[in-house]
Copies of this chain bind each other. A is one copy, B any other.
């Protein structure tokens, strides 16, 4: 992709409304544009990051045997009246009246609708468990939306639902999502720590051992001992500050660390809360009709874009983990318009594509300083710098964004370095 033709409206100044670093950097890096309070358009660079994250979420759901479907954004009020939540939900629910004066709403979540789909589709314990997910835009009409995509009104969420014949079977589904989630977040370069909590952000108190685990290595496969892993992990101390009692904490001070937590997902077991009022019954082994046991499992997909930036940045901008970077490498032409530099860059573009590396090529006629600053700001994992001096001696400069390490080396060696690290 050529930057001269790419819609990337980077900003030099920090927008006044942005209170947290991810919001500031997403605006400055031209990733998002606010279109109404708490509602954002995802510009090309931002949307690439969002889709990378979404795809990891999808792959891990699929790998753990969860089936993807897609429910609509607009729901009928009747379903929510059946569960009793239509009146309970309050002003965060965006209520809509259609042209025939029917009460509708923009779904903030989908327990009712998935229960309705289930009850009209599944009859017998033989078809259980059913694990279903979708990745869809949701709306919560927050009174004071803020922090950019971390707390927007329209947001992308992966929500999954489990249907089981018994509480014990439902617990197995719960373990399955528990492990799936730890694998998912590890693939994005995040340290995820499971805690019991009511709300999202808070200070966490954690046994150091939990932070030392590498979930991408330690988490079991979908057919492994999910329950055993769940018990091992949850035996270690982790508590949100509202639950943490220093006097009663079983972890010795030297092993206890505190960290700021950001909620990126949640898993719930809620039994028959929806299946009983909504009549979602299945036949059990004895031929009796019993209400199905349910759980729900959410991941804030658009919020993760912000969360990853909160966890990975420096004073110059974003530092994308390799797996979710919108492009693998930024190619900087130090002298756009110079025939040799242009030709060398065109050649490099072909070689990068052949190596399977996605490249954003800064071919603009800008001074070098501005190009470096923009490239640091948008935070691609690698920068490849091509200038007249290096070309004469047959080298390019390769910079690793995360460490700042720079090296002059022949192009082939640079390609080898990038593909090795990416693998």
Contact = CB atoms under 8 A, between A and B. Distances in A.
Contacts of A137: 72-73, 137
Contact of A143 (B39, B41, B99, B141): B99
Interface in A91-139: 91-92, 94, 96, 98-99, 102, 104, 106, 113, 116-117, 120-122, 126-127, 129-130, 132, 137, 139
Contact of A74 (B70, B104, B126, B154): B154
Contacts of A65: 5
A72 B41 contact: yes
Contacts of A73: 73, 137, 154
A41 B117 contact: yes
Copies in the complex: 2
Contacts of A129: 5
Interface stretch (A43-51, A347-355, A415-423): A43-51
A266 to B, nearest CB: 23
A172 interface: no
Interface string A3-38: 011110100000000000000000000100101100
Contacts of A143: 99
Given A98-B94, A127-B4, A39 B72 contact: yes
B94 A94 contact: no
A392 to B, nearest CB: 30
Interface in A132-180: 132, 137, 139, 141, 143, 153-154
Given A7-B121, A91-B99, A74 B39 contact: yes
Contacts of A47: 68-70
A76 interface: yes
A70 B42 CA distance: 5
A40 interface: yes
A411 interface: no
Nearest to A131: B5
A33 B120 contact: yes
Given A91-B99, A94-B98, A99-B91, A43 B72 contact: no
A7 B122 contact: yes
B72 A154 contact: yes
Contacts of A67: 1, 6-7, 44
Contacts of A186: none
A184 interface: no
B132 A7 contact: yes
A121 B9 contact: yes
Contacts of A126: 4
A206 B74 CA distance: 40
Interface in A197-240: none
Interface string A267-295: 00000000000000000000000000000
A36 B121 contact: no
7 contacts: A4-B127, A7-B130, A35-B71, A42-B69, A47-B68, A73-B137, A94-B98
Given A33-B121, A43-B121, A73-B137, 4 more contacts: A47-B70, A72-B154, A74-B139, A74-B154
Top 10 A-B residue pairs of the complex, sorted by shortest distance between their CB atoms: A9-B121, A42-B70, A36-B76, A41-B71, A91-B99, A44-B67, A72-B154, A99-B141, A39-B72, A47-B70
